[in-house]
Structure 1
Amino acid sequence: MAAGSWDPTSLPIRPGIYINFVEVALAQITGGARGIVGIPLFEYGTAEAGKFYTFENEREATDVLGTQYNDVVIRALQGGAKEVLVYTVPTNADSEQQYIDMRDAFEARQFNVFVYADEVSATEQDNTLAWCKRNREEGKHFMVIFGGSTADDQDPTVGNARSIRLMDDYAVNLITGVVLSDGSELNSSQYASYIAGLIAGTPINKSITYEVLPVVDVTRRLRNSEINAALISGSLVLVNDGRKVKVEQGIVTNSNESKRKKIRNIRARQAVATDIPATACDNYIGKIDNNDDGQAALISAIKAYLETLETNNVLTDLYVGLDKQRPSVGDSVFLEVSYTEIDSMERIFLTINI
């Protein structure tokens, strides 16, 4: 089935359902299976090369990868991922082609969040984001989590520059390393798998802002001015508030001082772009007539889907109907969908009168 965005001046040819998000009408959508983190492994012990493995618990990961290579999978599961989809990348003398082949392999699989196990070059970060964008245009939606090196984490301006370079609605860039209970440290690239699991496993009507993390400290505590600069740059920051380590704010890299785009919002947009086409493919495309009754059935189904989200405090003020500007004739149906998103309460302002 074809899916993706559409341009009213050049309609798609393939049969399918095409959704055009208009910024003022976007809202948070949920539904369907969530929680799958995709991770490519370039080192995997005795596991078979060029194969996908699905892990739902630590024991499965240890049985296949051993204790030397299972840690990244365990972190994603501990973060909250329902499943971790691992691809054991075959060795290739051409490193660039190795990454290309790996990303091509993932395109045939379903996952919600993609993350590397460790540091990758700036070039491969850029290529991965370009891959994510291309998939989005073709109707496949997932988030990508990035991080930096141990040295990068000591200078927040380096991490912020990475956030700006990787600016996109579907990208999250962690700029903080962590200290574990045994005193060992993980840089932001290594801890990104936990964040990937956290994002994948958090319900879409919830935010990861102020989520408490199972670590004892961050590798560099940022000052208030540095935290503000990081948020304006679109960086995901972990802070030690003196008692616990937590996520400062769940934002994507395409954020700025006037508009911080939330992970919660973006994952909801990904959900509507995934769930409605899937339902239409199974029950409507090629199966019902494009007349008043068929159009009413499609509208009713989409509205029922959105109403379940409204009940769960994901959105409100929803409307689904035929597009008044474009006639639905022949084999084409044009719909208008609007709703208002419900955000998390993240900033509380008090006026105390004495």
Structure 2
Amino acid sequence: MATGGGWNPTDLPKRPGLYLNFVEAAAAAIKGGARGVVAIPLLTYGAGATAKTFYTVEKEKEAQELFGAANIESIRLALMGGAKQVLVYTMPADPTADDYVDMREAFDSRLFNVFVFDQEADATEQDLTKAWVARNRSEGKHFAVVFGGTTADDADPAAGNARTARLKDDYVANLIDGGKVGTTTYSSAEYAPYIAGLIAGTAINKSITYAQVPLDDVNKRLTNAQITAALEAGSLVLVHDGEKVKVEQGLMTSGKKIRAIRARQAIATDITKTAADAYIGKIDNNPDGQAALISAIKAYLERLEASNVLMDPAVTLDPEYESVGDSVYLLISFAHVDSIERIFLTINV
């Protein structure tokens, strides 16, 4: 895996690699990588699979053959949501806290876009997973996590919003209500894999706001005031609009838009991988080499601009730091492109 992560001018990393810092309006990248991979730690499975082993599945039939039809609901939902692949890690029977530590460490060495639990996870594991996301981000690995709660939690939107506050992070989404399909009822935690698939499978120039989900109804229909309070908290809410169930707004628990964060994650991941493959140790740190690196990054950002991911990209040497020796400091800026989510009409009659 490519070396990367944040950097501090008073304590520069020693390992060769590309390091980037996110300032609120700055990020970096070069070329597009794989999208659409959901990671799931599977709790139960048949004899065809081995504990503490990774499996990659792209079709429901593959999952049935590996794990048994009764054990793949989370995988099925992730694929239905739009995941291109599901990266499955098989948990041992009756997993302990140490087994969850081992699981997270195992996923450290794998590439994926969104992580979600197979079933409901307790508050301790949620908190530890949030910390794991933050650690990976600091080390240069970027992915989102989707959490949910129990049916009892879903009955009280205030409980879901409290979970959102506890799990506040740019890379974390928290679903606070589940839904029904026929006679099957899903808690928000049980339905979170569908949302994970939806996030992973949605292009980085699109939003999941108002995306229709295949539910007949939500478990609890929230009032306008409750929906507003949930959005203000940063919760992910499903609503029944009288005809269908849809995502009210694509938000991370920090209140930032999923579309913007996913674009930022893609940019950070792409630049690290491509720089490691094509630039680090391969070009000279002189004006020509610096110009080549700047040109490559700018060309990539301009492709994202043409795809309506961002606007007004700019790439220059950072004037605050001297790019000499084996170090190059770049200053990169752009504006995120958001989706139209609120339309205000004034009608004169």
Deviation at 1:43, TM superposition (A): 1.1
Residues in 2 aligned to 1:113 and 1:193: alpha-carbon distance in whole angstroms: 9
The 8 Å contact of residues 28 and 342 in structure 1, kept in 2 or not, is answered as no
The 8 Å contact of residues 212 and 245 in structure 1, kept in 2 or not, is answered as yes
Residue number in structure 1 paired with 2:193: 193
Residue number in structure 1 paired with 2:319: 324
Residues in 2 aligned to 1:271 and 1:30: alpha-carbon distance in whole angstroms: 9
The 8 Å contact of residues 6 and 20 in structure 2, kept in 1 or not, is answered as yes
Deviation at 1:172, TM superposition (A): 0.3
Given the alignment of the two structures, is residue 249 of structure 1 paired with residue 244 of structure 2, yes or no?
Answer: no
Residue number in structure 2 paired with 1:132: 133
Residue number in structure 1 paired with 2:160: 159
Residues in 2 aligned to 1:201 and 1:247: alpha-carbon distance in whole angstroms: 15
The 8 Å contact of residues 20 and 28 in structure 2, kept in 1 or not, is answered as no
Match of 2:303 among 305, 308, 312: 308
Structure 1 residue identity aligned to 2:233: S
Residue number in structure 2 paired with 1:54: 56
Q: TM-score normalised to the size of structure 1? A: 0.96
Residues in 1 aligned to 2:335 and 2:119: alpha-carbon distance in whole angstroms: 38
Structure 1 residue identity aligned to 2:62: E
Deviation at 1:103, TM superposition (A): 0.7
Residues 1-354 of structure 1: matches in 2 within 5 Å? 1-25=2-26, 31-46=32-47, 47-91=49-93, 95-180=96-181, 182-255=182-255, 261-354=256-349
Deviations along 1:3-47, one digit per CA (max 9) or x if unpaired, are 111112221111111111111336999831100000001211222
Deviations along 1:89-142, one digit per CA (max 9) or x if unpaired, are 12367x110110111111111110000011111001000100110011001111
The 8 Å contact of residues 40 and 115 in structure 2, kept in 1 or not, is answered as yes
Deviations along 1:189-233, one digit per CA (max 9) or x if unpaired, are 000000000000000000000001111000000000000110111
Residue 106 of structure 2 aligns to a residue whose secondary structure is: helix
The 8 Å contact of residues 209 and 248 in structure 1, kept in 2 or not, is answered as yes
Structure 1 residue identity aligned to 2:53: K
Residue 204 of structure 1 aligns to a residue whose secondary structure is: coil
Structure 1 residue identity aligned to 2:160: G
Identity %: 62
Deviation at 1:244, TM superposition (A): 0.6
Gaps (5+ residues) in structure 1? 256-260
The 8 Å contact of residues 28 and 268 in structure 2, kept in 1 or not, is answered as no
Q: Aligned pair count?
A: 347
Residues in 2 aligned to 1:29 and 1:204: alpha-carbon distance in whole angstroms: 15
Residues in 1 aligned to 2:201 and 2:227: alpha-carbon distance in whole angstroms: 25
The 8 Å contact of residues 80 and 201 in structure 1, kept in 2 or not, is answered as yes
Alignment RMSD (CA, Å): 1.4
Gaps (5+ residues) in structure 2? none
Residues in 1 aligned to 2:15 and 2:31: alpha-carbon distance in whole angstroms: 26
Structure 2 residue identity aligned to 1:319: A
Residues in 1 aligned to 2:143 and 2:42: alpha-carbon distance in whole angstroms: 19
Structure 1 segments (4+ residues) deviating >6 Å:
27-30
Structure 2 residue identity aligned to 1:280: A
Q: TM-score normalised to the size of structure 2? A: 0.97
Residues in 1 aligned to 2:209 and 2:112: alpha-carbon distance in whole angstroms: 23
Residues in 1 aligned to 2:27 and 2:296: alpha-carbon distance in whole angstroms: 19
Q: For residues 324 and 170 of structure 1, do their structure 2 counterparts lie closer, same or farther at Cα, with a shift above 3 Å needed?
A: same
